[in-house]
Amino acid sequence: MGWNDFSLPAVGCWYENDDGSSRQDELRQCVPGEWLEFVREPDNPHDHLAVAIVTGRGMKVGYLGRDRAGWIAPKIDRGYLVHAIVERVKGIHLEGATLGLVMRINMEGEEPELPIVEDRSCWAA
């Protein structure tokens, strides 16, 4: 596992996107290790430091929490290479559950790695 990797949950995964697309439907397609992109939204009316999370299929699935965006957004603005992958989708194995995203992030320009877990049944929680 990368020494500089860390995990963060996404927020806002339960909302629909402005174009009507479902973040929940997109999360159902996500798999551990899938690349994610952070997209700065400096014109976001709720937070000028907003950082959207977008899948490789181009669908927004949520945002960094405000506290983390306040720390990561300025780094993105200054050109830091921030990479993220899907670590797990919370609730994916529970019928009717609202899904959530946990990301694995590296801010040192390296590819993040999934943590080694012997019993992956806990990833469905």
Kindly report, residue by residue over 21-62, the tens digit of the pLDDT: 999 999 999 999 999 999 999 999 999 999 999 999 999 999
86 by Cβ neighbours in 10 Å (0-12 / 13-18 / 19+) ranks as buried
| Separation of alpha carbons 28 and 93, rounded Å | 10
In the predicted structure, residue 122 carries a pLDDT above the cut 70: no
Domains of the chain: 5-116 (3.30.70.2330)
Mean pLDDT over residues 83-111, rounded?
Answer: 95
State pTM to two decimals: 0.89
Cβ 110 vs Cβ 83: under 8 Å: yes
| Separation of alpha carbons 105 and 21, rounded Å | 25
CA angle at residue 58 from 55 to 59, to 5 degrees?
70
